[in-house]
Structure 1
């Protein structure tokens, strides 16, 4: 039986209209820096970014009477509003068939290693509160008639902690949070690009005093670039991940994140070696992850060469049609590439095969009007011949229809509607796709309250490096909601939001403007487009799912040379509108060097294959196998268990990238809170003084 969902319901969950922004408050003053007259905006705290995590932080601060302002390069244009964040992971409330507790969820969150134990526990405990408040704001999480939230299994999740409003889950989260921010009258400055964190003081006394931005509407004869400064003692970096780092990416265009911005301010980064890669449609069209029911329907996956010939290429990697189809299905909840799943004919052989096809110049498609073609010499595809876990899932879902498109229409009609909105009818035509970069698990190093190594600077969402090596699908959204709330609690509860003396910012502002004027050149400097091509090609070709020690070392040397050239020659621009992109590509080049430096350090110190990447090495212990023989060129190192307990930190010291390591912070569950003992700490705000700083 196919469930027919009325079209108006499908439309409402697919065409999610975002609210109209309120008029922007005027500037508070004008300051001169050299010959430039720059408007000044004042606030206790500025949130950089308008995604789900940043909006949560702003809403929670405003509720606590913090004078908070949001700035955004493009309102509702980031990852959580535009990309395939289709699920939220939460604590399963001890249901009998999917039993859970906070410790178990914390262990699942940090199972991949390189994640602080206290952070994992905080995210587990905070998940229920995050979900409940989102429901209160109107997020339409699906429920059973008993009121229980409907859940399912996702990647790196053996319990079934995921829930979904459909493919637009994260956009719906942004919508309800944005509506709440507007209701609370949080000032919002759109088309505002942060280019420099301003700091005052030296050494351990250095702290945030503002942030320099570019706003097109501020351009004038006395301010040709459109500079604007936000004077504030606190900032929250919530601008997402470095989506422009890779050529092969499922990030929306223009997602630069804030890694380079943070590095230039001397902020520590952590775990930036750790990313996620998986199958999705290309960013040149409509970028979207092809996880969940897209592959659980088991469409036919094939490639087409330059002569137009079709290739059933997956049949070369699996021994039987049953094995092939079952592993295509498993990509639904084993979506990210993982080196170990290339072994024993696992699901990441699908990613490797697709990667090899595209590298050979072939175009890969999935066709929902055809079932998988058989492996040579084996029986044809049949729903009666699938692995037990696949059969169980499909039977429980009632997905026994003959064709993949009918199974998809039954299990998730929103998946079809979504592509139709972008003029792609997967019910009629094959869908082109590839293996793409999707998420960075690393970012700014933070403590249990979201504080970075720079006093006054916090980070939340994908900008924060809290995720470790692997994480259950949807837990990144949960982390952003939990830490958005905790940042607000810390800022309000610890009196970090200084309402007294305003921070001095004039001298740092003049220095930043002098640097900008000397850095931007109309000729004789690298062009942003050339820098983009160089960075993206290097990262995709040498730091993607397959890495070799030599390739990474070579890529690092190339990145260092590029940044040396940029430091010496500056960046080119031809008109004022190009200045923000010129700055962002300079910062992206710096972030690229930082990622490669950390990855090179990891590999040179014996780092093995974990998370997103296979470290290919002729002396590696692991060797993928196929029915036609072993894939010797993809022999890879096994992950070193000892590396799971450490994290790699990165800091910019002058012109040098400095690498260090520290052990994961521990959490002792036996040290349980005691009401009478600990209540005074809550009442007096002492809890906000506890916990290690981000650079400890």
Structure 2
């Protein structure tokens, strides 16, 4: 079977390796170079390494609680049930997870987990370790990788996905396949503040929408609580720092997070992020993360990447608290799938952040994202046997409203990505109001989609389409739940 994998994070790499090992003819497409993307930037670890007194059942319970009652219990059971096997597989493929003096995996604790079950590599460079190992294994297989190719659209025929339309080398190119596995990540570039790399413009989800695949839960955007406030690209300060004992303090030195939740700094991410936004607005300055009690040696050993970057940006976090703010981090919604990655369109699978597996519900539990990519990437590859070969007599077609764009006369205002990002942060960020969402939707619908066959134009059209879908989804949910929080208007303005 010819299998096209679009995206090279942990979900796509795992799916490609498993599909190749099962005897399928695999081609991988990546937007930049192989290894670029969100996985390589992940500082936190991968959940699912169960020590004494812990269990998959406890992990499932923590995941369900974090999801605010909207997680799919079946998907959660699959996630935790496959966790040990997928971590063992990563070890076998060469991921250098950190170990204690006795050789056992060193397990960390993160927010909303009831036990230390997080495996890390390189202290705070788990994603980089996983990405490097899996990319090396993929290169060894000889699987062809098409780099610097942007997904423009999915190709369909007779109700099936038959391949993809790519923008590469300045022109559109059709690649047909018996099955397409989408692993294109999230859409963090919708927001002014984001941890997501520049490639995360929601291309896969937007293409799935145009092809007619079901998409759900786009209103649930996780905002990571602690991004370093400093010039330069957004830099995430891992939740594991708080798991090791760092605290959040305001200008008075008070641990304000306990005002919002009895677990304080280790409450679910959405709770902590909102507490930070509120307190920063009240005091008119960023709150601070105080890791000084951990000491310079421990910080440098446990968090070498964060230690290096904070010093490069002029902070000595072993001596003084550092300013932090939330930023868009992870999209819980996406293309609807079953527990084997199948979407609502035959021949089309989705894994990783672009998929809505049902695991996360309204809020993702820390360190479940890398696990989700590994688990469902493997399951999607195993399910390929249910995708029958394409019929060569049916010519693939592009969706009617495709990524190349058609002038819409009702949208008269020129589109600007910075304007969209500002709008989304202000009105569709951690704190929302119905009026603000309505204003955001009207503004987005007033913009004219960008034209042209450049990467930027394709990305901007995707961002504009996803922004409209996300705001509409948020408006359709009139009550606060998880990461979707409706706030009193008076508390919004000072952000």
| Residue 186 of structure 1 pairs with residue 153 of structure 2 | no
| Residue 265 of structure 1 pairs with residue 211 of structure 2 | yes
Structure 2 partner of 1:595? 470
Separation in 2, partners of 1:185, 1:444 = 29
Structure 2 partner of 1:116? 72
| Residue 433 of structure 1 pairs with residue 324 of structure 2 | yes
Aligned mate of 1:349, from 275, 281, 288: 275
| Residue 105 of structure 1 pairs with residue 62 of structure 2 | no
| Residue 214 of structure 1 pairs with residue 173 of structure 2 | no
Aligned mate of 2:152, from 195, 212, 224: 195
| Residue 52 of structure 1 pairs with residue 10 of structure 2 | yes
The verdict on how the C-alpha distance between 1:56 and 1:314 changes in structure 2, with shifts beyond 3 A counting, is same
TM-superposed CA distance for 1:351, in Å, is 4.2
Structure of higher RCO (CA pairs closer than 8 Å, 6+ residues apart):
2
TM-superposed CA distance for 1:348, in Å, is 5.4
Structure 1 partner of 2:39? 80
TM-superposed CA distance for 1:487, in Å, is 0.5
The answer as to whether partners of 2:183 and 2:350 remain within 8 angstroms in 1 is: yes
**Under a length normalisation based on structure 2, what TM-score does the superposition of the two structures give?**
0.86
| Residue 231 of structure 1 pairs with residue 176 of structure 2 | yes
The verdict on how the C-alpha distance between 1:410 and 1:301 changes in structure 2, with shifts beyond 3 A counting, is farther
Structure 1 partner of 2:187? 242
Separation in 2, partners of 1:210, 1:595 = 26
Matches within 5 A, 1:36-435: 44-75=2-33, 76-81=35-40, 83-92=41-50, 95-96=51-52, 98-100=53-55, 102-111=56-65, 112=67, 113-165=69-121, 166-201=123-158, 206-216=159-169, 225-257=170-202, 258-277=204-223, 278-281=225-228, 285-292=232-239, 294-295=241-242, 296=244, 298=246, 312=251, 315=254, 317=256, 331=265, 333-334=266-267, 336-338=269-271, 349-356=275-282, 360=284, 362=285, 399=294, 401=295, 405=296, 408-409=299-300, 411-419=302-310, 426=316, 431-435=322-326
Separation in 1, partners of 2:393, 2:229 = 45
Separation in 2, partners of 1:86, 1:150 = 13
The answer as to whether partners of 2:279 and 2:287 remain within 8 angstroms in 1 is: no
Unaligned runs of 5+ in 2: none
TM-superposed CA distance for 1:355, in Å, is 4.9
Separation in 2, partners of 1:590, 1:283 = 31
User: When the two structures are aligned, how many residues end up with a matched partner?
Assistant: 481
What do the CA deviations read for 1:15-73 (whole angstroms, capped 9, x no partner)?
A: xxxxxxxxxxxxxxxxxxxxxxxxxxxx7111111111101000000000111111011
The answer as to whether partners of 1:232 and 1:502 remain within 8 angstroms in 2 is: no
Q: Based on CA coordinates, which of the two structures has the bigger radius of gyration? A: 1
1:614 aligns to what SS in structure 2? coil
TM-superposed CA distance for 1:411, in Å, is 4.6
The answer as to whether partners of 1:151 and 1:162 remain within 8 angstroms in 2 is: yes
Matches within 5 A, 1:536-575: 536-562=421-447, 565-566=448-449, 571-573=450-452
TM-superposed CA distance for 1:301, in Å, is 5.5
Structure 2 partner of 1:505? 395
Structure 2 partner of 1:614? 485
Structure 2 partner of 1:533? 418
Separation in 2, partners of 1:248, 1:263 = 25
The verdict on how the C-alpha distance between 1:171 and 1:406 changes in structure 2, with shifts beyond 3 A counting, is closer
TM-superposed CA distance for 1:471, in Å, is 3.1
TM-superposed CA distance for 1:107, in Å, is 2.8
The answer as to whether partners of 1:314 and 1:350 remain within 8 angstroms in 2 is: no
Structure 2 partner of 1:484? 377
The verdict on how the C-alpha distance between 1:510 and 1:538 changes in structure 2, with shifts beyond 3 A counting, is closer
Unaligned runs of 5+ in 1: 1-42, 217-224, 303-311, 342-346, 372-382, 384-398, 619-631, 635-696
TM-superposed CA distance for 1:581, in Å, is 1.4
The answer as to whether partners of 1:195 and 1:580 remain within 8 angstroms in 2 is: no
The answer as to whether partners of 1:279 and 1:351 remain within 8 angstroms in 2 is: no
